[in-house]
Amino acid sequence: MLAPATRNALTPPAAPPADKHPSERGDSARSARAESNATDRPAPAERDATDRTVPAERDVSDRTVHAEQDATDPTAHAERSVADRPACAESAAGEIAGGDNTAVTPRARPYVVLSCAMSLDGYLDDATDERLVLSNNEDLDRVDAMRAGCDAILVGANTIRRDNPRLLVRAQARREQRAENGLSPQPAKVAIFGHGDVDPESRFFTDGDTDKIVYCATKTAGRNRTRLGDRAEVVDGGEPVDLELALEDLAARGVGRLLVEGGSTVHTMFLTAGLVDELHLVVAPFFVGDGRAPRFVGDGQFPWHRGNRATMVDVRRMDDVVLLRYALSDRFEA
């Protein structure tokens, strides 16, 4: 379980002096990483036969994180703290002086791995209601291992609406290994909501006895909190949700490694903001050829362009798909 929340609305840190360069404010410590692969997306109905064979982990009655958590007493949930886990050891270095001479801790954020599968022409999905299988069994197992190695998995609201993913570690041996390491058998689940209105019975919320955190736009935070009840903790993430603050909040909860699993809007936001440390891109051997379908990313100004090429660190063939792995920050962990 993650460390307790200490607030249910994200607030930016104290402003630095106007004459300070961003690098002196610790902003340069921000880099990104992410890894994810939502290739196992089951359809809202029954998109993934494999999922159907796994007993649903629906018992959430003993979850301690919920919307009404006492934010004033961080010790109240001390038994859930994972702050001392090796996987969560990352944090920003030292403290610097703020504008009012108080100490301002530079922003910390998890190591972010972004992982997805796309067609040869760069689509994450097609425009039909049927499940588009981009990955294969070998790759799904790789993704399962990646999930088991992270503290939390993040997706956008529309991926939940469209794919209804469980976002769980499937292999029992991997869950047991996590438990042996003192971790929750399942990583936490994290979502980003704008208007929200996601079905509270979605498997994101109902499956898996693990923390579920929703960073929600300010305007709809109250409504979504009411709608979701104790299915998830809804955090007011700003208008729109401030990803850097959300990552900072996750780090404070003990998330050292975050897997971002789509979809297109979320990829674009994380990548353009330079918040990804590692990219895992699986390419499936076929075309979608339909401009109505979502692409890997939308338009935007990315830190990697013809004048700043990303560093490729691995290429792996897995049957008929290929995994391309890129280091996108100087925090890359080989």
Ligand X SMILES: NC(=O)c1ccc[n+]([C@@H]2O[C@H](COP(=O)([O-])OP(=O)(O)OC[C@H]3O[C@@H](n4cnc5c(N)ncnc54)[C@H](OP(=O)(O)O)[C@@H]3O)[C@@H](O)[C@H]2O)c1
Tell whether residue 156 is a contact of ligand X (CB under 6 A).
yes
Integer Cα distance of 225 and 77 in angstroms: 20
Integer Cα distance of 264 and 300 in angstroms: 12
Q: Which is nearer to ligand X, 55 or 291 (CB)?
A: 291
In the chain the first and final C-alpha atoms are separated, in Å, by 27
Reading phi first (left if > 0) and then psi (alpha if -120 to 50, else beta), residue 122 is in left
**Beta carbon of residue 275, minimum distance to ligand X (angstroms, whole number):** 11
**Beta carbon of residue 97, minimum distance to ligand X (angstroms, whole number):** 30
Give the pair of three-digit tokens for residue 270. Answer: 């994380």
**Beta carbon of residue 175, minimum distance to ligand X (angstroms, whole number):** 22
- Name residues contacting ligand X, limited to 13-42 (CB under 6 A): 37-39, 41
**Beta carbon of residue 152, minimum distance to ligand X (angstroms, whole number):** 16
Q: Which is nearer to ligand X, 185 or 278 (CB)?
A: 278
Tell me, what DSSP letter sits at residue 208?
S
What are the residues whose beta carbons fall under 8 Å from the beta carbon of 170, sequence distance 6 or more? 50, 54, 144
**Beta carbon of residue 239, minimum distance to ligand X (angstroms, whole number):** 8
Tell whether residue 125 is a contact of ligand X (CB under 6 A).
yes
Q: Which is nearer to ligand X, 127 or 179 (CB)?
A: 127
Integer Cα distance of 331 and 310 in angstroms: 14
Residue in 4, 42, 187, 262 binding ligand X, rule: CB under 6 A: 262
Q: Which is nearer to ligand X, 24 or 199 (CB)?
A: 199
Tell whether residue 270 is a contact of ligand X (CB under 6 A).
no
Q: Which is nearer to ligand X, 80 or 189 (CB)?
A: 189
Question: Total residues at the site for ligand X (CB under 6 A)?
Answer: 32
In the chain the beta strands, taken as DSSP E runs, fall at: 96-97, 103-104, 111-118, 152-156, 188-193, 212-217, 233-238, 257-260, 278-283, 311-318, 321-327
Residue 1: which of 60, 73, 58 has the closest Cα? 60
Q: Which residues contribute to the site for ligand X (CB under 6 A)?
A: 37-39, 41, 116-117, 124-125, 134, 155-159, 162-163, 192-196, 217, 240-241, 261-266, 269, 294
